[in-house]
């Protein structure tokens, strides 16, 4: 697990490096970030949208990027709203308050 206390402190690049090192040593590894907020996204082979960091980490691990690596992607839209993408598919636009009020139902959508 890679943890950090702020954005832009290097968590994603460290994770990519660890994925590469472990993959080169013969381990089966894959990245995972349960919720990501980013305008930068990647379209997977099957058309799902995930955070670009998880796609780069997957490539470093030598595996194909898939939606399950980033089940919830939040894309900021301004005016305190974000587009909510669940398992690579657009779900809705929500304000921060609405998002956190409905987080439990969003988790259920992933099952």
pLDDT in tens, 10-25: 999 999 999 999 999 9
Domain presence at residue 71: yes
Beta-bridge partner residues of 86: 72, 89
Which pTM was predicted? 0.86
Domain presence at residue 4: no
Domain presence at residue 6: no
Domains: count for the chain:
1
Domain presence at residue 46: yes
pLDDT given at position 79: 80
Domain presence at residue 85: yes
Domain presence at residue 5: no
Q: Is residue 108 over pLDDT 80?
A: no
What range does the domain containing 61 cover? 11-109
In this prediction, residues 35-51 reach a mean pLDDT of 95
């Amino acid at each position: 697990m890679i943890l950090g206390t702020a954005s832009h402190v290097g968590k994603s690049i460290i994770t990519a490096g660890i994925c590469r090192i472990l993959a080169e040593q013969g381990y089966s590894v894959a990245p995972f970030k349960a919720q990501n907020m980013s305008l930068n996204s990647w379209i997977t082979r099957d058309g799902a949208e995930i955070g670009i960091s998880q796609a780069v980490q997957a490539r470093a691990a030598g595996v194909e990027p898939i939606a399950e690596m980033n089940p919830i992607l939040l894309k900021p839209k301004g005016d305190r709203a974000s587009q909510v993408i669940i398992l690579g598919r657009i779900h809705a636009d929500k304000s921060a308050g609405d998002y956190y009020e409905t987080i439990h139902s969003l988790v259920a959508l992933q099952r």
